[in-house]
Structure 1
Amino acid sequence: MTADTGPNLVVGNDDPALSRQLDDALTAFNEAATGTAYGDSFTVKVTDKDGALVGGLTAWIWGGLCGISMLWVREDSREQGWGSKILEATEAEAVRRGCDRVLVSSFTFQAPGFYQRHGYVEAGRVPGIPGGHEDVYMLKRLTS
């Protein structure tokens, strides 16, 4: 007869199945606690004439808030206004989906100034990013 040793703690590399299970469990908990269901996520993508990625964005929706997860523009296209076009398309889609706010974080070596030029205001900072940088959280209120 073997003894029951109880729960087993394991530390490992990326585990997509665990990530999905945790996401499902936390989503259910958050929806029960707030009475607000999560919305869909969406993307914005720009490709060149050959189909190569110029830039894109991933975002999520919850309770009237659109959260930008990632926005990236290829280096050779960064001075052509694609970041602004992607952000404006995102804001329009967020309004279409019932959002009145957009939240984004950007490291100080990335693009906080870009977001500020588009009407985002700083909501908080987290220090301790390598190289003496910070993670800047910014929020913009949208009008329909």
Structure 2
Amino acid sequence: MTTDHGSGPSLTVGGGDTELNDRLTEALIAFNSAATGAPDRGTFSIKVTDEAGGLVGGLTARTWGGLCDIDLLWVREESRKDGWGSRILLAAETEARRRGCDRLSVSSFTFQAPDFYRRHGYAETGRTPGVPGGHAVVHLFKSLTGAMPSRQS
């Protein structure tokens, strides 16, 4: 859907737009780096495949300003008891350290894996309510140095 406002800008609402996502990400990275002086270290991924090349699990993350923000971590159901989630998460923490990060953040729905992250030393820093079924988004943090961030008022 496009809303035309004459000869000025037009607003378009539609489905996912990879090109738009890439341009917005690039613009925000430039803005954030200029505002803070902290360079963006980019994204990384971790992928586990089986002998047939099928996806067992994986992780995507971004590092910036000493923070590794885990975007997605998933392991197929039949492989979840094999320790792949832990191995993937530990590999991400190792890569974060290699990139100069001293802390990590991740979010998980209450029905997903907040307890998994807690078992790996992540502490809950907040919740966002309103997820269908009475669930919430749980925000978690882990310091690789043992220090927790101070809360801002």
Shorter-chain TM-score range: over 0.9
Structure 2 residue aligned with 1:123? 125
Q: Deviations over 1:19-51 (max 9, x none)?
A: 222111111111111111111211111111111
In the alignment, which of 53, 56, 69 is matched to residue 55 of structure 2? 53
Alignment of 1:19-58 (within 5 A): 19-58=21-60
Alignment of 1:76-91 (within 5 A): 76-91=78-93
In the alignment, which of 64, 72, 75 is matched to residue 73 of structure 1? 75
C-alpha separation between the residues in 1 aligned to 2:35 and 2:69? 20
Q: Which amino acid aligns with 1:43?
A: S
Q: Deviations over 1:94-129 (max 9, x none)?
A: 111111001000000000000000000001100001
Structure 1 runs (4+) deviating above 3 angstroms are none
- The alignment partner of 1:114 has SS state of helix
Q: Which has the higher contact order (CA 8 A, sep 6+)?
A: 1
Q: Which amino acid aligns with 2:39?
A: A
How many pairs are equivalent? Answer: 141
Give the drift of 1:5. Answer: 2.8
TM-score, scaled to structure 2: 0.88
Compute the RMSD of aligned alpha carbons.
1.4
TM-score, scaled to structure 1: 0.93
C-alpha separation between the residues in 1 aligned to 2:25 and 2:55? 28
Structure 1: state its 5+ residue gaps.
Answer: none
